[in-house]
Structures are given as C-alpha cells and as structure tokens.
Structure 1
Amino acid sequence: MSLQTIQFTQEQARDLAGVSPGEVRAWRKAVSYLAAKPGKAARFTFADILGLAITRRITGDFHVRISDIGGSMDALFRALSETRPSDLESSVALIDAHTALLVPGFDLGAKPLKDPTFVIPCAQLVHDLSQRVMPLASASLQAALPFAPQMVKAGR
C-alpha cells in the first residue's frame, strides 16, 4: 500500500500561500513546474505550497521579477517535491540567478556561495503553513464543564 499525499486545490494552495490568481498566472509563464499544473483540476502538495510561499517572499519582499529567476524557482519546486516532508522544516533554500538548492540547515556552512544568493530558512514558513492547514487550539480556549462527569447506570 502506497502512502497518499494530501492534495490541495489551486484555490486552497493560493489561499494558504497568500498569493493572488494573477501572481500564479504570471509565475506559470516562467516556472515550468507550475506550468505543468494548469486549470481548475490542478492539485498541489504541501511542498508545492511551500514553494509558492518562498516565491511570494522573493518576488514580494525583495521585488525580484519572476522572469529573472524563473529557472531557479523551477529548480526549487523540483527540489522541494523530492524532499521528504519531515525534512522540509530543517531545510534552507539557496536561490541564485541560475539555480536553487535545498540543503539541511546544519549543512549550510559546507556549501560555498559564489554568486549573490537568497538564503531562505524553511522552518518558519513550514510552521506558518502548518498552522493554517491544521490550527491547534490552545487548552485555555476550551471551556470548563458546568458540571462534573458522573458514571450513569443503565435503567432497569
């Protein structure tokens, strides 16, 4: 029996990653990994949503045009899709103008950087996305019972 991965619709993926339909349309033109997921029937994994969130950070926070780094983002999406979900949180994305790598955080110092590179730790993004997918309510939010539980005998 194979392990099934949770699949998200395009609308769910956009909502979780905080991106607009227009952004995804533009990104599809530059990132072949996303171009392979067209239309309303497209399904996205958690790793794909993480890739969307990273792309949003680079294009939004740093104002980088997707046309300038499309090949790098394609490499990132492919690396994310090949990474075990349990390893995503401890990973760091290294993205330069030509390619992208996903490395374990403890291995970051062993990677020589030759070109200007975006270094994006995945831990906080994974945590934020996980909370949006499965919010955990704190114990203090549960109301106390107005009466104590009692054992009840069945009627005769």
Structure 2
Amino acid sequence: MSLTTIQFTQEQARDIAEVSPGDVRAWRKAVPYLAAKPGKAARFTFADLVGLAITSELTNRFGARISDIGASVDKLFHELADARPAHLEGIVALIGSASAYLLPIGDFSARQISEPTLIVPCDPIVSQISARMMPSTPSAAQRELPFPPQILKAGR
C-alpha cells in the first residue's frame, strides 16, 4: 500500500458507498477480504469503496444472496485492490458464481464467458463515489475589492 493512498474509516466507507452497517456485518461473514477488516480500526481504500458499492448493487438491486456469491465477491475485492482508482474508469466487473474479473469495456466482447455472469459497469459507481467524496458546491462570485491589489516588497 502506498503512503499516498487515502484510507477511510468504516463509517466513512459505509456513508460514501451508501451501504448499511447491517449489510457490512452480513458481508463480513461471507467475504474473507471484509472479514479481515473488523472493528472500528478498519480502514478502506477507494477501491474498497467501489467493491462495497458493487456488492450493494449485486445484493440489493439484483437480489443475489451474499452466501451464494461471497467467494466471487472476495475475488472482486482482491481484483479491485490491485487497481488504481484512475484505472477503474472504463472498466466492467464480471461476477460469476465463483469468479470475478475486471476488464476494460472495449475488451469485454473478446472475453469468453463460461458461466452465468453479472456485469456491473464501474464508471457510474466511480463517479457517484467521487461525487460523494468531493461534492461540488456552486462557487459564489467573488466580490470586487474596494481597492486595487498592490505588490508588497519584503523588508530590506
């Protein structure tokens, strides 16, 4: 892990990825990667946030049971851990019953899929997480100064 990697607390990770504490507790029982991050001292990377959001999509939107896809979600977290945040754009996550892959969207058609697979594009998730991390606020126009700026010289 790089020293420049931003790490998030468990509460920050849940808030940014929009997952409930109950979901994370349940996922820890089925996903060894998450089980290795217990308690309040747990720290999560940006890639982990993407993994949490994808897991939420799989379990909440698609209705997949974590007990059925835990092994593949574990592989997904390991795949994500090896990726830099900038490399997650233009990527799709392919999650099978016991496998997970990250592929550039352009390479997706070249991949032979040998089992039923859920496909989750990472772009919308990365954009949503980035927006939650650094929400853009409308900048107020700066008022005009009542006097012209002047250059000050350092003391002689």
TM-score (norm 2): 0.90
- Amino acid aligned to 1:39: G
Counterpart position of 1:109? 109
Alignment pair present for 1:42 and 2:42:
yes
CA contact 2:47–2:84 (8 Å) conserved in 1: no
Counterpart position of 1:24? 24
Counterpart position of 1:136? 136
With 24-33 and 80-89 compared, the bigger mean Cα shift is at 80-89
Alignment pair present for 1:78 and 2:75:
no
Deviation at 1:105, TM superposition (A): 1.3
**Distance in 2, Cα, partners of 1:38 & 1:110:** 38
Task: Name the CA shift for 1:23/1:153 in 2 (closer, same or farther; >3 Å).
Answer: closer
**Distance in 1, Cα, partners of 2:62 & 2:147:** 56
Task: Name the CA shift for 1:147/1:36 in 2 (closer, same or farther; >3 Å).
Answer: same
Task: Name the CA shift for 1:134/1:152 in 2 (closer, same or farther; >3 Å).
Answer: same
SS of 1:151's equivalent in the other structure is: coil
% identical aligned pairs? 55
Deviation at 1:152, TM superposition (A): 4.6
Q: Deviations over 1:106-125 (max 9, x none)?
A: 11111011221111110010
TM-score (norm 1): 0.90
Task: Name the CA shift for 1:149/1:75 in 2 (closer, same or farther; >3 Å).
Answer: farther
Q: Which runs of 4+ in 1 moved over 4 A?
A: 146-149
SS of 2:86's equivalent in the other structure is: helix
**Distance in 2, Cα, partners of 1:95 & 1:119:** 6
**Runs (5+) with no aligned partner, structure 2:** none
Counterpart position of 1:120? 120
Counterpart position of 1:52? 52
**Distance in 2, Cα, partners of 1:41 & 1:126:** 24
